[in-house]
Amino acid sequence: MVRSTAPWPGLRPPRETAAAPAWNTSGLHDMTTIDLARYIRDVPDFPVPGILFRDITPLLRDPRALEEAVERMSTPWLGRRVDLVASIEARGFMFGGAMAVRLGCGFVPVRKAGKLPWRTCSVRYTLEYREDVLHVHEDAVERGQRVLVVDDVIATGGTAAAVVELVEKLGGEVVGVQFLVELAGLHGRDLLEGREVRSVLVL
Ligand code: AMP
């Protein structure tokens, strides 16, 4: 079966014809057949004028695209002794939780103010379109634990840099930083200099 049209309004046209995934004996489909960029919808002027928002919900609702995204985000870190995945609410959780299961490690939620019930450590940071504070439980990371930081999108890099700072404040060792989408024009990587930074899609 060949997809001939974009699956949802607002999605870009396919760069190439994507054949339906072939299912292999492990139950996982052939990971080479899906152009994940087709499942990211560009929404101009959201949440404020001037921002081109990269909407991942079309990818989330497609089981094969979602599986491939999680797989491609996880594969580089297999065998790297990752103890914990730390992700940022809310969209980071959608990938970070699945990746933790795939990597056989634990999961640490990094959340906005007022959401975590116990004692927290916090850091203030600047986003592409606002300022905010992130919190993590004080006991979320033990000294020396190896932590992979995960988010859906890197824009300016401020959010991921804040999570790296939080993990290191608690004594964790940041193994690397993984994104689904990197907005290359915003040079967010510069804030993560010296870290191993990976993105599945560079837009
Ligand atoms: P930043 O700290 O600037 O790298 O922003 C990254 C965070 O904000 C991620 O958690 C994204 O979910 C969100 N974000 C920022 N800019 C965008 C955008 N243009 N499209 C989608 N999500 C964005």
Walk me through the domains of the chain, giving residue ranges and CATH numbers: 72-202 (3.40.50.2020)
**Cβ of 128 less than 6 Å from ligand 1:** yes
Q: What is the mean pLDDT of residues 12-24?
A: 41
To test the pocket of ligand 1, the residue of 124, 128, 189 to mutate (highest count of ligand atoms within 8 Å of its CB) is: 128
pLDDT single digits (tens) 108-164: 999 999 999 999 999 999 875 678 999 999 999 999 999 999 999 999 999 999 999
Is 89 among the catalytic positions? Answer: no
27 has a pLDDT exceeding 50: no
For residue 7, pLDDT beyond 80: no
Q: Decide if 105 contacts 82 (C-beta within 8 A).
A: yes
Look up residue 17 and give its DSSP letter: P
pLDDT band, residue 30 (cuts 50/70/90): low
Is 165 catalytic? The answer is no
Residue 65 has pLDDT above 90, yes or no: yes
CA dihedral 67, 62, 158, 130 (to 10 degrees): -160
The answer to whether residue 196 scores a pLDDT higher than 70 is yes
Q: Does residue 3 surpass a pLDDT of 70?
A: no
Q: Return the exposure string of 64-81: e unless at least 16 CB atoms fall within 10 Å of the residue's CB, then b.
A: bbbbbbbbbbbeebeeee
pLDDT of 13 higher than 60: no
102 alpha carbon to ligand 1 midpoint, in Å?
Answer: 24
Average pLDDT, the chain: 88
Q: What is the mean pLDDT of residues 89-100?
A: 98
Indicate whether residue 96 lines ligand 1 (CB < 6 A).
Answer: no
pLDDT at 71 over 50: yes
Assign 33 a pLDDT band (cuts: 50, 70, 90). confident
Residue 105 buriedness (CB in 10 A; 0-12 / 13-18 / 19+)? buried
Distance, CA of 173 to CA of 26 (rounded, Å): 33
Residue 31 clears pLDDT 70, i.e. is over it: no
Identify the pLDDT of residue 131: 85
> Which of 26 and 146 is assigned the larger pLDDT?
146
pLDDT at 165 over 90: yes
Between 63 and 17, name the one with better pLDDT: 63
- Which pTM value belongs to this model? 0.87
pLDDT > 70? residue 29: no
